[in-house]
Structure 1
Amino acid sequence: MQMSVTDALVHIMVMTAVSDKDVTEREMDRFAALIGRWPIFEEFDIARLSEVASACVETINRAGLDALLNQIAETLEPRLQETAYAIAVEIATVDLTLNQEELRMLEMIRDAFSIDRLTTAAIETSARIRHRKL
């Protein structure tokens, strides 16, 4: 069954959050903030977040991460793959540190979507600037 674009983007959020095995309260808050503010999620019913997140984890456990990334890549057109990468970076950087697992997840997403290094660097720099503190 083909997943919707918004479900694919939520899957990216969940995959990134669970990459280090510990979904923090800040990551959960960022899920809600992104869904509530980003225009791409206008049609997404936030009441479905738990259902979609559970489906993501179930798919990872059943089919594996690579299979899920391939399905998401097939669902998203190239410009939305860049959006998905930006979402992943937002989730990964919310706690102001990137561990090895999160870096590896971003690399896997970048490779699955074939996003060029200049674009990913711009997305990563933008996130770093947004999350800066004094």
Structure 2
Amino acid sequence: MQLTPADALVHVMVITAVSDKDVNDHELDRFAALIGRWPVFETFDLARLPEVATSCVDTVNKAGLDALLGQIAETLEPRLQETAYALAVEIATVDLTLNQEELRMLEMIRDAFAIDRLTTAAIEASARIRHRKL
């Protein structure tokens, strides 16, 4: 199945959320907030989220994570690959901790996309700053 760019971005959020095997309420709330606020999702119907998430998990189960990342990379132009990485970081950092599985997933996403290291470092620093508490 050919992914739309919006579906590919949702797939990135899903694989990041499930990377630690524990999708929590904070991550689910962040999904809805990101889809509702980021302009890149203005044509995405939030009601499709369960269908797209299921499609993502099915693809990983059938073809594997590397195949899905390759499909996402082919679907997204480079500027949207940066957006996808920013979304992954948002989902991974929502609970203010990064475990080994989440760090590994971010590394795999970085490797699959055409994003330079300076850009990924800026995205990561920006997320840390946004999620900081007093």
Q: Does the pair score TM above 0.5?
A: yes
Q: Where do 5+ consecutive residues of structure 1 fail to align?
A: none
Per mean C-alpha deviation after superposition, the further-off stretch among 1-10 and 31-40 is 1-10
- Separation (CA, whole Å) in 1 of partners of 2:89 and 2:28: 14
Number of aligned residue pairs: 134
d(CA) in 1 for partners of 2:30, 2:79: 22
Q: Which residue of 1 aligns with 2:18?
A: 18
Offset of residue 114 of structure 1: 2.8
Deviation track 1:34-91 (CA, whole Å, cap 9, x = no partner) reads 0000000000000000000000001000000000000000000000000000000000
| Aligned residues: CA RMSD | 0.5
Q: 1:2 offset after TM fit, Å?
A: 1.6
Please name the residue that 1:63 is paired with. 63
Report the Cα distance in structure 2 between the residues aligned to 1:50 and 1:17, rounded to whole angstroms.
14
| 2:48 equivalent to 1:48 | yes
1:32 aligned partner, one-letter code = A
Partner Cα separation in structure 1 for residue 66 and residue 24 of structure 2? 24
5+ residue gaps in structure 2? none
Residues of 2 paired with 1:97 and 1:7: CA distance?
Answer: 26
TM-score by length of 1: 0.99
Q: Runs (4+) of structure 1 moved beyond 4 Å? A: none
